[in-house]
Amino acid sequence: MIGKNQRKRIVRNILWIVLLGSGSCVRQRETAREEAGLYRMNTVICSQQYERLKQISVEWSDKINRRMETCGQNVILYVKRKLKKKGSSTKRTGIISQYDELFKKYSSEINWDWRLLASLVYHESSFDPSARSRAGAYGLMQMMPSTMESYGVDTAASPEKHIAAGVKYIKYLDNLMSRHIPNKNERVKFVLASYNIGPGHVLDARRLAGKYGKDATVWENNVDSCLLSKVDPKYYTDPEVRHGRCHGKETHAFVAQVMKLYGYYKTL
């Protein structure tokens, strides 16, 4: 460990080297020969000190690197322990959020696993009942004002009423998509996409899929790619498209993220 006095000497030596290097060394009022001798002597001393400083700096650098590496490893181990502890607690209790009982109560109305509903709500609002998007969507279910009005809720309604209203909207979307997507597991993805961007754009993407040789009953690598293409004039001006241009990238990611989180929730 470098002592306080040694650090002071090192700092003074560094300042002396800087002064010599810049040509600002203070000359004594002595003869030119004495001055030259003093300068040469100090140059030798400073050269020796400079080499010592380089050696110390290397030693310090090695010590700091080793210390930082150790600290980094300790932080990683600490985080892993915390995550392991948190994960074991979650697995033991099976709790996802404070609204789990409401998710269990209302998910039966749409024949969904309650954990899938929880995953959707997490990605919509992070379980924040007062969340408001830039577009104006509000609450746990992030419904737009017009949709909330259609299902009899407003910003003053309780979280339970928002969940109940959101589930009713999901049920409407599921009924709409069931005419075209017979497979329940596949239909979930279409419902999620419709919840996020609106059913009109999803139905447009299905029609484009049918026109361009893709499977209109399969989401991944079929209808989802057609939804993404609706940002291109070639496709959003196509006669099959009835709801115009849209940016499908967010919806594409939303469906994938909800399904991925749902998969994780099922392991808890």
> Which range scores top for mean pLDDT: 41-50, 60-69, 131-140?
131-140
Lookup: tokens for 156 = 């003053």
Higher pLDDT, 45 or 123: 123
Q: Return the minimum-mean-pLDDT range out of 88-92, 108-112, 199-203.
A: 88-92
Contact 165, 190 (CB under 8 A): no
**Residue 20: pLDDT over 70:** no
pLDDT at 94: 80
pLDDT at 88: 34
- What's the pTM? 0.66
**Residue 216: pLDDT over 70:** yes
Output the average pLDDT for the chain. 80
**What residues contact residue 248 under an 8 Å CB cut-off, 6+ apart?**
197, 201, 205, 224, 227, 228, 229, 230, 231
72 CA to centre of own chain: 22
**Residue 103: pLDDT over 80:** yes
Average pLDDT over residues 17-36: 43
Tell me how far apart the alpha carbons of residues 194 and 210 are, in angstroms, rounded to a whole number. 18
**Residue 12: pLDDT over 70:** no
Tell me how far apart the alpha carbons of residues 145 and 130 are, in angstroms, rounded to a whole number. 14
**Residue 90: pLDDT over 90:** no
Higher pLDDT, 83 or 226: 226
pLDDT at 268: 87
Ranges of each domain in the chain: 4-93, 100-265
The pLDDT tens digits for 48-82 are 555 665 565 556 555 544 554 444 444 344 434 44
Tell me the CATH number for domain 100-265: 1.10.530.10
Contact 104, 121 (CB under 8 A): no
* Whether residue 124 lies in the annotated active site: yes
pLDDT at 53: 54
pLDDT at 33: 46
**Residue 92: pLDDT over 80:** no
Q: One of 35, 69, 109, 124 is an active-site residue; which one?
A: 124
Residue 33: CA atoms inside 13 Å, Cβ hemisphere, count?
A: 0
pLDDT at 227: 98
Q: What is the DSSP string of 119-140?
A: HHHHHHHTT-TT-B-TT--BTT
Question: Which among 146, 242, 141, 145 is positioned nearest to 201, based on CA atoms?
Answer: 242
Residue 192: CA atoms inside 13 Å, Cβ hemisphere, count?
A: 31
